Amino acid sequence: MKKIAVLILVVTLLPFCLVGCGGKDEKRNFYSIEAVFNDDDMTLTCSQSVEYVNTSENILTEVDFFLYPNSFAEGQTPVPSSYKASAYPNGESFGCMEMESVKVTGQSAEFVVEEEDKSILVVYLGKELYPDEVVEIEMEYTVSLANINHRLGYGEKTVNFGTFFPIACVYENGFVRNGFSSSGDPFYSDISNFEVKLSFPEEYVLASTGNQEVQSDGTVLCEAENVRDFAFVLSKEFELLSKETNGVTVNYYYYKDENAEENLEISCEAVETFEDLFGQYPYKQLSVVRTNFCFGGMEYPNLVMISDSITDKETYNYVIVHEIAHQWWYGVVGNNEYTDAWVDEGLTEYSTALFFEENEKYGLDYDVVMKNALNGYKKFVEIYSSVLGEVDESMQRDLSEFLTEPEYVNCTYTKGMLLFDSLRDTLGKQKFEKCLKNYYKEYKFENSSYEKLVKSFSKSANRDLENFFASWVEGNVKIA
Q: What are residue 342's phi and psi, to 5 degrees? A: -65, -25
Please state the closest distance from residue 134 (CB atom) to Zn ion, in A: 33
131 preceded by cis ω (within 30°)? no
Please state the closest distance from residue 160 (CB atom) to Zn ion, in A: 16
User: Of 1-9, 167-175, 260-268, 312-320, which part binds Zn ion (CB under 5 A)?
Assistant: 1-9
Please state the closest distance from residue 322 (CB atom) to Zn ion, in A: 6
What is the residue-wise DSSP string for 174-214? SB------SSS-------EEEEEEEE--TT-EEEESSEEEE
Q: Is residue 231 at the binding interface for Zn ion, with CB under 5 A as the rule?
A: no
Q: Nearer Cβ to Zn ion, position 95 or 184? A: 184
Q: Nearer Cβ to Zn ion, position 149 or 193? A: 149
Specify whether the CB–CB gap between 99 and 201 falls below 8 A. no
Give, as ranges, the residues between 348 and 377 that touch Zn ion (CB under 5 A). Answer: 348
Angle at 113 (CA atoms; ends 73, 408), nearest 5 degrees:
55
Cα gap 227→244, rounded to integer Å: 21
Q: Which residue is nearest to Zn ion (CB)?
A: 1
Residue 331: CA count within 13 A, CB half-sphere: 28
Q: Is residue 1 at the binding interface for Zn ion, with CB under 5 A as the rule?
A: yes
Specify whether the CB–CB gap between 269 and 288 falls below 8 A. no
Q: Nearer Cβ to Zn ion, position 53 or 298? A: 298
Q: Nearer Cβ to Zn ion, position 153 or 346? A: 346
**Residues 2-21: x/- map of binding to Zn ion (CB under 5 A)?**
x-------------------
Q: Nearer Cβ to Zn ion, position 73 or 233? A: 233
Q: Nearer Cβ to Zn ion, position 391 or 417? A: 417
Please state the closest distance from residue 348 (CB atom) to Zn ion, in A: 5
Q: How far is CA 296 from CA 95, 194, 210, in A?
A: 22, 27, 23
Choose among 444, 186, 449: nearest CA to 338.
186
Please state the closest distance from residue 296 (CB atom) to Zn ion, in A: 8
Specify whether the CB–CB gap between 332 and 347 falls below 8 A. no
Q: Nearer Cβ to Zn ion, position 129 or 231? A: 231
Please state the closest distance from residue 137 (CB atom) to Zn ion, in A: 31
Please state the closest distance from residue 413 (CB atom) to Zn ion, in A: 7
**How are beta strands 134-144 and 120-129 bridged, if at all?**
unpaired
Please state the closest distance from residue 351 (CB atom) to Zn ion, in A: 10
Please state the closest distance from residue 108 (CB atom) to Zn ion, in A: 41
Give, as ranges, the residues between 332 and 351 that touch Zn ion (CB under 5 A). Answer: 345, 348
Choose among 345, 342, 347: nearest CA to 396.
342
Taking CB atoms within 8 Å and a gap of at least 24, the contacts of 133-136 are: 133/53, 133/54, 134/15, 134/16, 134/27, 134/51, 134/52, 134/53, 134/54, 135/51, 135/52, 135/54, 135/63, 135/104, 135/105, 136/49, 136/50, 136/51, 136/52, 136/104, 136/105, 136/106
Helix, coil or strand: residue 402: coil
Q: Nearer Cβ to Zn ion, position 64 or 308? A: 308
Give, as ranges, the residues between 278 and 317 that touch Zn ion (CB under 5 A). Answer: none
Q: Nearer Cβ to Zn ion, position 70 or 183? A: 183
Choose among 295, 234, 193: nearest CA to 42.
234
Please state the closest distance from residue 130 (CB atom) to Zn ion, in A: 38
Please state the closest distance from residue 326 (CB atom) to Zn ion, in A: 6
Q: Nearer Cβ to Zn ion, position 37 or 278? A: 278
Cα gap 248→428, rounded to integer Å: 31
Give, as ranges, the residues between 411 and 450 that touch Zn ion (CB under 5 A). Answer: none
Cα gap 245→251, rounded to integer Å: 11
Q: Nearer Cβ to Zn ion, position 2 or 397? A: 2
Which one-letter amino acid corresponds to residue 433?
E
Q: Which residues bind Zn ion (CB under 5 A)?
A: 1-2, 345, 348
